[in-house]
Structure 1
Amino acid sequence: MNDASAYKGHCFCGTVEFTVHGEPAGMGYCHCESCRKWSAGPVNAFTLWKPDALDITQGADNIGTYNKTPHSYRKWCRTCGGHLFTEHPGLGLIDVYAAVIPDFPYEAGIHVHYPESALPMKDGLPKMKDLPMEMGGSGIHVAE
């Protein structure tokens, strides 16, 4: 692991700790209703990683899982309820929430599910109707 590209993260209380290393496969904002309800916020800032880029370094037995659909396995700390990741098995990626990697240089590149937005963001980034085609979406862009 190259220390220059390794970032430590943790849940709200610190019981679960992890490291991500390398470069994410993508970063952006998700505006879908499911992410908004799960995060209790108007938008989810995501970082997508290959599963082998994530190492749980403490508290692995304290991670809970909930999957509303087979597309997303949401993970949280059983002690504090702090949200950690969402596994996307069909994509072969894990969304590590940007907010739980404090020193990671987050830089969004896209908005997904933008028509569902509760917080329109005029930032010049591409806005997608759903997901890019390579992720199983329509690839349709929508207006800012």
Structure 2
Amino acid sequence: MNDADTYHCQCFCGAVKFTVTGKPEGMGYCHCESCRRWSAGPVNAFTLWKPDAVTITHGTDHIGTYNNTEHSYRKWCRDCGGHLFTEHPGLGLTDVYAAVISDFQYDPCVHVHYSESKLPMRDGLPKMKDLPKEMGGSGVSVAE
């Protein structure tokens, strides 16, 4: 860990900067269609933080928000389009994309929405059909 467990994050152009502090509540890979379309990739590497662990330090006025459901408020930089994080108010968590966190040891522990996967990943981690029960999902595992 570095600097009292504070990690620096930013968008692609640097107009928006923020920090995450402490330890994430969880880390993993999301394979759902919504995350794939938003990230323009086959999978999203997520880190989940309590909302008060995320602090905008620069460029609040450059942050745009999009939500196609009340479950996810996706944030991005209005200058460069770089993705920042997604607020999940119902879960009481904020998903900070692993790729925007500098000097952070990403250590995934689960795959969620693996039944929607377009990129099979044979890494020995648990694969969930949707979400774990404690996050409102079925808690059902699927084969790797």
Normalising by structure 1, report the TM-score. Answer: 0.98
Alignment partner, residue 94 of structure 2: 94
Match of 2:111 in 1: 111
Pairwise CA distance, 1:134: 0.4
User: Once the two structures are superposed, what CA deviation does each residue of 1:88-112 show, in whole Å capped at 9, x if it has no partner?
Assistant: 0000000000000021110100000
Q: Distance in 2 between matches of 1:126 and 1:71?
A: 24
**What secondary structure sits across from 1:14 in the alignment?**
coil
Alpha-carbon offset, residue 3 of structure 1? 2.4
The match for 2:18 is: 18
Matched, 1:74 2:70: no
1:53 Cα deviation after fit: 0.3
Deviations 1:60-113 (A, max 9, x none): 111000000011000000000000000000000000000000211101000000
Separation in 1, partners of 2:120, 2:35: 15
- Which ranges in structure 2 are unaligned for 5 or more consecutive residues? none
Distance 1:61 1:48 in 2: 24
Q: For the aligned residues, what is the CA RMSD?
A: 0.9
Greater Cα offset, 21-30 or 2-11: 2-11
**Which residue identity does 2:107 align to in structure 1?**
E
1:1-144 to structure 2, matched below 5 A, reads 3-144=3-144
Displacement over 2 Å in runs of 4+: none
Give the CA deviation at 1:132.
0.3
Percent identity over paired residues? 78
Q: Is the partner of 2:48 in helix, strand or coil?
A: strand
- The unaligned stretches of length 5 or more in structure 1 are none
Q: Secondary structure at the match of 1:122?
A: coil
- TM-score, scaled to structure 2: 0.98
